Structures are given as structure tokens and as C-alpha cells.
Structure 1
């Protein structure tokens, strides 16, 4: 692994675990307690993004994967199609979780993030832009890319995707996040361009945030009705 990749990983870890150091500082500065967590995330992810992009300047024009990168037109097509591919993978994973594993629908991680977004709207920058960029650099370009060079696609995609899922802190839906990570790994190998997975990832996140933010009450009602219907069907004996 390249030396500056270690610094990138360290920066990302510090961003993830910086809250215990940053939140007391914001409290001391008198920041609104209801917005304090969101504001610190905005600060931490913004600084982390600047540092990591600065460290990546050495990679400009280099290709980490075997083979030639896809053409700009092909890359644009895969970036757009990758959004739907990621959603399709999530739908399959979600159905496996609910139908076969009995895991309730709905991610606690997503719900917590949306609560922060509602209290601190600027948090959308972290969820839709900074977060996806950092995740693609760390989990696809560095982790997946490094493992892929020494093994094969399946092993590299599985390992990097599971780590990606674990970091999201929602153990019940590890399959859901792994499916998304696996899809982005496929896009990266297919195009040899990390910008393709970044565009697909941030586009998907932005779409989800908009839907959750604007139609949150309607979605909650639909989930409640679905649970009622499932309990009724489950109570019928044939």
C-alpha cells in the first residue's frame, strides 16, 4: 500500500471518532445542544475531506487497477446506471433480510442520520457529498484496490464491502450495506475510475435524503400499514 494511503486511512478514522474531542469544545463555545452533533460532523468531515483530497494529489492521472480506464462516455453511462444498480442490489438484500432472516425493514442508522439532518439541515453536505466521497476513496480506491491487486474481485469486494457495512454501525443490516459496497466495487472494476463510484454513491444518498426529508411522514405511515398487514396475514391459518 502506498505510504500516503496510510495517512488517508488515519485521517478517516480520526474523522469518525473525533466527536468525543470536538463536541465538548462546541459545548464550551455555546453551540445549540440540539445541533451540536450535526455541526461537529460538518466540521470534521469538511476538514477530513480537504486533507484527504490534498493527500490524493499525488495520484492524479494514475490508475490503481489493472487495465485501461473506461472512456468518459462509458464512465458517464455506468455512473448513471450505477445508481439504479445500487438500488436494485439493496432491494434484493432488503428482501432477503425481511423475508428469509426476519429482520425488520428500516435502518436505525438512516433514521438517526435523518434526525440529525432535520435539526441541522447543513448535515446534508456530509450525507450527500463529503461522506460518499470519503467512503469511496477509503473503501473502494484504497481497501478494495489494495486487496484486489493481490487476490481477486470476489474476495476483495466481499472483504471491503463487509468492512464498509460494519463501519455504518447497523449490524442488523450488514447484508444491505454490503450489497451496496459490492455494487460500487463492481462499478470501480468495470470502469477503473473512482469518480464513477463517487457519482453513483452521492447521487443515491442525495435521492434517499430528499425522499426521507420530504416524505418522512408518508413513509412512516406506509411502514406501519405494512407491519399491520404482515401481522394480519401471519395470524391467518390455512
Structure 2
């Protein structure tokens, strides 16, 4: 299977997983959440299988310079803190411009679901970010990258779509996070770099939010 065909297959798989809750929408919320979690994990596993079956590297992967496991781990792990820092900066700038309290409806909704159904944490810190990296960083970047236009237009388009799909009021936060993950992917030519950073960032955010939610640590107002 060619890289382009694999990219299309992964995007279609993501859409199927994304829309799968509609199949059980008539059932209770617990059933919908459980089904969504299973779908996210299964979707991530299938994307990984498609990735390893694809013998053809994308244009970005061919140009990756820091492709050794050492750089993948170093950039992936350091990218966790950089992503958190970047998120805070963009949120701060947005707050200063709009003069509104910083908030994320997407994050608040996810934490609310996790509190009611602990299993959903697997979708949030593993299944979801893995799928998003394979779709928005590898597949869409591959589909929008051409030899004449190169990496950057594709990265901008995929980052914009990454932000839009979150249905949040923080477009630029998600956009620049997406662009940052794209840069990690480009540097190493390995999708695992951005996967490590994205999964790590989501895990850190969820842990902190749950600590605050349960009153283990109180944030001064």
C-alpha cells in the first residue's frame, strides 16, 4: 500500500471512529462513553497496524534528520513541557487581548466525563492523541504536501483542521500546538516523536485537572 493510500485509509478510519458514538446514541451516557473509549483505543491500534504495513515513507519522513531513537525520545519527552508552556503563553496572550477568563470547554467536558467514567481516561491520554497524530500530523500533512509547495503549507492546513475539530473557543491555542507537534514530526521524520509529546501533555493536563477537581491541591483565586 502506498503512503498516500495509507493516509487516506487512516483519515477515513478516524472519521468512522469519530462518528461511531452515533450508533449507540439511543443508549445511556455510560454506554456511549464506554463504546467511545473502545472505539478510540481500537482506532489507534488499527492506525498503528496500517502504519507498520505501509512500507513507503512520506515526503516528511524521507527528510527527517534527527531520526535516531535517542532524538525521538529526547524531543518527544522535552516536547511535553514545551507544549504545556506554549499552551500557557498562547492562552495568556488570548486572555490579554480578549480580556476574558482563560478556559477550555473541551478540557472541562473531558474531565467531567472522566470523573463519571474513569475508563474514558484511556481515550483521552492514549487513544485520542495517538489517532490525532496519525491523522493530523502524518496523514493530512502527507496528503497536503507536494514537492513544489513543501511541508509548511501542509502543516498550516493540518494544524487549522486540528484546531477546528476540537470545537473549542481557543482556535489559536490548538493551532499552535498542532504546528508545534508538526515541527517535532518534521525534525525526526518519525510520528512517534509527536505521539510521545501529545500523549504526555494530555496525561499531565488530565492529572493536574483531576487533582484540582478532587481538592487535593487548591489553586488560589
On whether the aligned pair clears a TM of 0.5, the verdict is: yes
Kept in 1: contact 2:76–2:197 (CA 8 A): yes
Q: 1:120 aligns with which of 110, 117, 127?
A: 117
Question: For residues 64 and 180 of structure 2, what CA distance do their matches in structure 1 show?
Answer: 20
Q: Does 1:55 align with 2:57?
A: no
Q: 1:37 aligns with which of 16, 32, 36?
A: 32
Structure 2 residues not aligned, in runs of 5+: none
Question: For residues 155 and 63 of structure 2, what CA distance do their matches in structure 1 show?
Answer: 18
Q: Which 4+ stretches in 1 moved above 3 angstroms?
A: 60-64, 217-223
Q: 1:154 aligns with which of 134, 145, 152?
A: 152
Q: 2:206 aligns with which of 209, 212, 215?
A: 209
Give the structure 2 partner of residue 7 of structure 1. Answer: 9
Moved more, 110-119 or 15-24: 15-24
The 5 Å alignment of 1:150-229 reads: 150=147, 151-170=149-168, 172-216=169-213, 222=219, 225=221
Larger RCO: 1 or 2 (CA < 8 Å, sep 6+): 2
Question: For residues 205 and 191 of structure 2, what CA distance do their matches in structure 1 show?
Answer: 21
For these two proteins, the number of residue pairs brought into alignment is 216
Question: For residues 216 and 89 of structure 2, what CA distance do their matches in structure 1 show?
Answer: 19
Q: 1:221 to 1:106 in 2, by over 3 A?
A: farther
Deviations 1:49-106 (A, max 9, x none): 2332232232258454242442221221111111122112211210121001334311
Q: 1:81 aligns with which of 71, 78, 81?
A: 78
Kept in 1: contact 2:137–2:182 (CA 8 A): yes
**TM-score (normalised: structure 1):** 0.82
Structure 1 residues not aligned, in runs of 5+: 28-32, 226-238
Question: For residues 99 and 41 of structure 2, what CA distance do their matches in structure 1 show?
Answer: 38
Deviations 1:206-231 (A, max 9, x none): 111111112225599648x2xxxxxx
Question: For residues 7 and 214 of structure 2, what CA distance do their matches in structure 1 show?
Answer: 42
Question: For residues 109 and 174 of structure 1, what CA distance do their matches in structure 2 show?
Answer: 12
Kept in 2: contact 1:23–1:40 (CA 8 A): no
What RMSD, in angstroms, separates the aligned Cα atoms of the two structures?
2.2
Give the structure 2 partner of residue 105 of structure 1. Answer: 102
Question: For residues 117 and 55 of structure 2, what CA distance do their matches in structure 1 show?
Answer: 34
**TM-score (normalised: structure 2):** 0.88
Kept in 1: contact 2:41–2:126 (CA 8 A): no
The Cα of 1:162 is off from its aligned counterpart by 0.9
Give the structure 1 partner of residue 135 of structure 2. Answer: 138
Q: 1:89 to 1:148 in 2, by over 3 A?
A: farther
